[in-house]
Amino acid sequence: MASRPLEFALRYALIFLCALLIGPLNAAELRQPLPGVHAIVDVRVVTAPGEVLESATVVIRDGVIEAVGADIQPPPDAALVTFERDDEQPPITVYAGLVDPYLAIAPDEKSDASDEEDSERIPGRHPLIKPDFELDARAWPADRVEAHRRAGFTTALMAPGAGLLRGNSVLVNLGEGGMSENLLRRGVAQHAHLQERAPDGAYPQSLMGSVALFRQTLLDAAWQQRARSAWQANPAQARPQWLHGMDALAPVLAGEQPLVFEAKDVLDSLRILDLVGSDFDLVLVGHGEEYKRLADFDRKVPHIMPLDFPTAPDVESADDGDDLGEHNRDVSLEELRHWKNAPENPARMIAAGFPVLFTAHGQSSPAELFAQVATAVERGLDADAALAALTTGPAEWLGISDRAGRVAPGYMANLVVVEGELFAEKPTISEVWVDGHRFELARLTPPEVDPAGTWDLILGLEGMGDVEATLTLSGEPSNMEGTLVVMGNESPLSEARVSGKQLQVKIDAARFGGAGTVSINMDIEGERGRGNGSGPFGEFTVRGTKSSGPGDEETRT
């Protein structure tokens, strides 16, 4: 009997050894995901607009918020997430992940841009009319997803971005793994835009033609429903023609699916309201000019509102004399009025009873939205209303108010962690959580260097060799401004700040013909720097030499 424990131990050791040897070969088949339990402790939590817990704990289990409150004890199996702060630093604040209700995806952003339906024209189908189109897994724009996520967005409505009747949008979270890992709901809304024109000079080439084509398409879809129903009830009669794609408009005609119409200007908004009857569930993607004719809107339909306020017109004298320079005479009174009144548009619309949702659509970088929101708050927009327009409002419209838009038990663990307040010109977002997955952004430490001035850079690009660039920086190390000049292309920096001895720079990749963000991280030692960068075109190395300080007029060598 004494030998049995020894035999058991030897067998166990043999099995364990085999597992070590065989395990790596079969890891893909055998590995099971470990339960994810985290507790974010001692943080300020904005659970919903106007609802704040000054010192609380958020418990996350398997991608869902398990508990949140001031007296919550972290579970024993939770990994603690803590933040070291001193009295002079702003508090760490946790917000619900932001929801973008309009992320338009153009056809050229698809990873597989060749669509079988596009390559072989369907007989009788107009190329601008594709209501049955739906974004699929090939349309996942990884660069734009990352840029949105870095700006605090954790959920978005991805909409097709081409055509007159463009097709159906999909609601997704903005985590890793593509659409297959992030899809929440398909067929959320039908999308349209009257400003589209047919390719190759075909019909329509005018606004009147686009309106007529849209109206005729709705009539055709309604006719098809009636005709096919009549034939199904009495198949002895002649079978009616079937029009490809028209069945996809049935829920729109019944008012069961929203029709999201992008408007160009205030006249376009009024035109769409007249064109689309009150039986439709109409939603407008706005433009910022609504305040001009609010009294003429016959329905208070929801507005998805881009915030792109105009910069101050240049009315300085070109020669510092009494007369305005010639270029300044182009600034009209209407432009001046719009510059003055545009930042008040969101507050005026909300005060007038319009449901307003904010979107990063129209911004060169999603992070630029915050400066616009801060301006709108300065011009009368209630801060809680602004937060609602990015969280609870779009969550309710999209039908996910029971799991998104708030920091509450049972909700998706979609969170934004901010150093201080979210609505600052350049908020410091330290990390973002999507479905309980933690995305740590650049963790800042107090600046130890001041890189203000001009830097001569060498960018080591794969396939291109060394490319010269010039980086100009100004301002405080924790919040800098500047430009990057590459091959004669001058681009403003979306973000520039110093953490320790590292300069961290971000630039909108659209400036270089790409989508997403170009990031540069350069470690600085005295007048020299070395680091790396990444963007939609790949990774690259960075070497730099400081050629002049701030305000220096020396000629750079």
In the chain, where the domains are located: 1-32, 36-97+405-441, 98-114+122-316+332-402, 453-548
Q: Residue 123: which pLDDT band, with cuts at 50, 70 and 90? A: low
Q: Which of 5-19, 284-298, 448-462 has the highest mean pLDDT?
A: 284-298
pLDDT at 153 exceeding the cut of 50:
yes
Mean pLDDT estimate for the chain: 84
- pLDDT at residue 24, as a whole number: 38
pLDDT at 536 exceeding the cut of 70:
no
- pLDDT at residue 514, as a whole number: 64
Q: Residue 440: which pLDDT band, with cuts at 50, 70 and 90? A: confident
| pLDDT tens-place string over residues 425-436 | 888 899 999 999
Neighbours of 88 (CB within 10 A): 5
pLDDT at 385 exceeding the cut of 90:
yes
Residue among 326, 302, 304 nearest 315 (CA): 326
Instruction: Identify the H or E element spanning 184.
Output: strand 183-185
- pLDDT at residue 137, as a whole number: 87
Q: Residue 444: which pLDDT band, with cuts at 50, 70 and 90? A: low
- pLDDT at residue 285, as a whole number: 96
Q: Residue 83: which pLDDT band, with cuts at 50, 70 and 90? A: confident
Residues 529 and 106: their CA atoms lie apart, in Å, by 38
Q: 544 has which bridge partners?
A: 457, 529
Q: Mention the CATH class of domain 453-548.
A: mainly beta
Q: Residue 112: which pLDDT band, with cuts at 50, 70 and 90? A: very low
Average pLDDT rounded to a whole number, residues 108-133 = 64
Residue among 304, 283, 40, 408 nearest 400 (CA): 408
| pLDDT tens-place string over residues 355-381 | 999 999 988 889 889 999 999 999 999
The answer to whether 318 and 326 have CB atoms below 8 angstroms apart is yes
Kindly state the tokens that stand for 296: 């003429």
- pLDDT at residue 516, as a whole number: 59
Residues 394 and 155: their CA atoms lie apart, in Å, by 10
Residue 61 to residues 93, 480, 536, Cα–Cα distance (Å): 20, 38, 33
**What is the chain's Cα-based Rg?**
28
Kindly state the tokens that stand for 183: 């899809």
| pLDDT tens-place string over residues 167-218 | 999 999 999 889 999 999 999 999 999 998 888 888 899 999 999 999 999 9
CATH of 36-97+405-441, one of 2.30.40.10, 3.30.70.1430, 1.10.10.60, 1.10.3720.10: 2.30.40.10
Residues 521 and 503: their CA atoms lie apart, in Å, by 6
Instruction: Specify the CATH superfamily of domain 98-114+122-316+332-402.
Output: Metal-dependent hydrolases (3.20.20.140)
**What is the 3-class SS of 278-333, one letter each residue?**
CCCCEEEECCCCHHHHHHHCCCCCCEEEECCCCCCCCCCCCCCCCCCCHHHHHCCH
DSSP category for residue 164: S
- pLDDT at residue 10, as a whole number: 42
Average pLDDT rounded to a whole number, residues 134-150 = 89
- What percentage of the chain reaches a pLDDT higher than 90? 54
pLDDT at 555 exceeding the cut of 50:
no
Question: Comparing 475 with 260, which gets the higher pLDDT?
Answer: 260
φ/ψ (deg, to 5) at 373 = -65, -40
| pLDDT tens-place string over residues 387-425 | 999 999 999 999 999 999 999 999 999 999 999 899 888
| pLDDT tens-place string over residues 339-359 | 999 999 999 999 999 999 999
pTM of the model: 0.75
The answer to whether 358 and 370 have CB atoms below 8 angstroms apart is no
- Report CA 433 to chain centroid distance, whole Å: 15
| pLDDT tens-place string over residues 501-521 | 989 888 877 666 665 578 888
